[in-house]
Amino acid sequence: GAPGVYCDRSAPLARRVLAGCPTLSPEGFYRPPALWGSNGHAQTILASLFRRTRCVEYARELLPTPDGGTLALDVLMAVRDERSAKGTGSTVTPIGETMAASVRNTKPVLLLTSGLGGGSQDAYVRSMAAHASECGWHVLVLNMRGCGGSAVTSPRFFSARHGSTDDVRLAVRHIRASDHLGRVAPCVAAPITRASAVPHSHAPMM
């Protein structure tokens, strides 16, 4: 069906939510352009060819997992004015103690997870990260095992179906325990495309 929120609009909870967030109401639903973006396939192809997204700078923290794997947690440090296509618009620097101390965070934390096999360098991740940062969020991007240019250090790879909830749990625990990431701030996860299955599977276990 068409994009939107399907609910009983007469229900008290639905009325409160729709009143507080008008973009969820039918009047605020996204309507694709009639010709060049009439369906999701066309939008995906055209965006991959022509989209130019803000360039960003990350500081990377490597998180070892109990089974020998490695997750790469990228902290958004800066959003630049220039734009770039595809995966060429991000720079990643290993995070150090001095850098960690310089980004003590009290803003709300937004944890992004990219699509299956993607990473923090992807244009759609950079676009969302840049916009969220400008709206006042402290943005982190979790690159799963072997993604985002991170090393493969265990036989187990990233899977949106099996096991990766453990990795998300580990990353969230690390964020909540780190002053410079988000100990004192609320934390929200925003998974993108196929990776959404992982945090959504993780949420009921919290």
3-state helix, strand, coil in the chain (%, to 5): 35, 25, 40
Domains, the chain, in order of start with CATH, read 53-205 (3.40.50.1820)
pLDDT of residue 204: 47
pLDDT of residue 85: 66
What is the reported pLDDT for 191? 75
User: What was the pLDDT predicted at 180?
Assistant: 66
> What is the pLDDT at residue 74?
93
Q: Which residues contact 24 (CB under 8 A, 6 or more apart)?
A: 4, 5, 17, 18
Sheet with 70-84: list strands edge to edge: 90-94, 53-64, 70-84, 138-143, 109-113, 187-191
Question: What's the pTM?
Answer: 0.75
Q: What is the DSSP letter of 87?
A: T
The pLDDT value given to residue 86 = 60
d(CA 6, CA 184): 35
- Report the b/e string of 132-157 with b at 16+ CB within 10 A: bbeeebbbbbbbbbbbbebeeeeebe
* Averaged pLDDT, groups of 10, the chain, 206 residues long: 70 87 69 68 78 87 92 91 70 67 72 83 89 92 89 82 77 83 76 65 51
Structure confidence at residue 147 (pLDDT): 87
Q: pLDDT value at position 197? A: 62
CB burial class (10 A; 0-12, 13-18, 19+) of residue 58? buried
The string over 17-56, giving b where at least 16 C-beta atoms fall within 10 Å of a residue's C-beta and e elsewhere, is ebeeeeebeeeeeeeeeeeeeeeeeeeeeeeeeeeebbbb
Query: Between vectors from CA 62 to CA 60 and to CA 68, what angle results, nearest 5°?
Result: 160
141 φ, ψ (degrees, to nearest 5): -120, 125
